[in-house]
Amino acid sequence: MKKVLITGASGFVGNYLIKEFKNSGYFVIACDINKGNSISEDILYYDMDILDKKRVEEIISENKPDYIVNLAAISSVGLSWKIPEKTMEVNIIGTLNILEAVRMANYNCKILLIGSSEEYVSKDTPLKEEDLLNANNPYGISKIACENIAKMYVERYGMNIICTRSFNHTGVRSVRYFCNTKLLQAGCRN
């Protein structure tokens, strides 16, 4: 059975992704700084802050997933303006910790890094993938940096990394996500 490790699994998108992987026959390993109540008991769950390099290395080395999906991020543009340093730390250093853990474990898994349409230059016409990247906010800039780091790891170490530039999305559980963002903004955790 193929194994997939999902960071940021308790967030809005993580719930849906876990369900899709489970329904497709994957063994799911969910990681987040806060389990919340959205992750069912039949999922292997680890408390993990992607800024804790040793913990990231330990979990990846122990589980050796076939796939890693990194959903862990500060993904609110508004919040990124309020806590730009933390945004850069979580989004860039957290991603580096994952890539380094895979590299140090010396095995090849596929890694999916989620970027954003916020990476593109703002314009009034529809965006194309080939459009210029030149973010104008801390969140978008952090995602451009992650994409550049991924490119470097692919070229230097031959790692199998896929980067996406996702656009805004919403759904039933997004209210919980936005409530958690408000708590983070206030310096609290639920």
**Position 93 pLDDT exceeds 70:** yes
State residue 183's pLDDT score: 44
Tokens standing for 144? 């451009």
Average of per-residue pLDDT across 101-125: 78
Q: Tell me, yes or no, whether 190 lies in a domain.
A: no
Tell me: the pLDDT tens digits for 147-179? 999 999 999 999 999 887 565 655 555 444 444
Higher pLDDT, 106 or 32: 32
Q: Tell me, yes or no, whether 17 lies in a domain.
A: yes
DSSP secondary structure letters along the chain: --EEEEETTTSHHHHHHHHHHHHTTPEEEEEES--TTTS-TTSEEEE--TT-HHHHHHHHHHH--SEEEE--S---HHHHHHSHHHHHIIIIIHHHHHHHHHHHHT---EEEEEEEGGGBPP-SS---TTSPB--SSHHHHHHHHHHHHHHHHHHHH--EEEEEEEPP---TTHHHHHHHHHHHHTT---
Q: Tell me, yes or no, whether 36 lies in a domain.
A: yes
Q: Tell me, yes or no, whether 13 lies in a domain.
A: yes
Cα–Cα distance between 97 and 174 in angstroms, integer?
A: 27
Average of per-residue pLDDT across 70-84: 85
State residue 11's pLDDT score: 77
Q: Which domain holds residue 113?
A: 3-185
Tell me: the pLDDT tens digits for 11-40? 777 787 888 999 999 999 999 988 776 677
Q: Tell me, yes or no, whether 155 lies in a domain.
A: yes
Q: Tell me, yes or no, whether 77 lies in a domain.
A: yes
Instruction: Identify the CATH number of the domain in which residue 54 sits.
Output: 3.40.50.720
- Percentage of the chain with pLDDT > 70? 76
Cα–Cα distance between 23 and 127 in angstroms, integer?
A: 33
Overall number of domains in the chain: 1
Q: Tell me, yes or no, whether 54 lies in a domain.
A: yes
Q: Tell me, yes or no, whether 32 lies in a domain.
A: yes
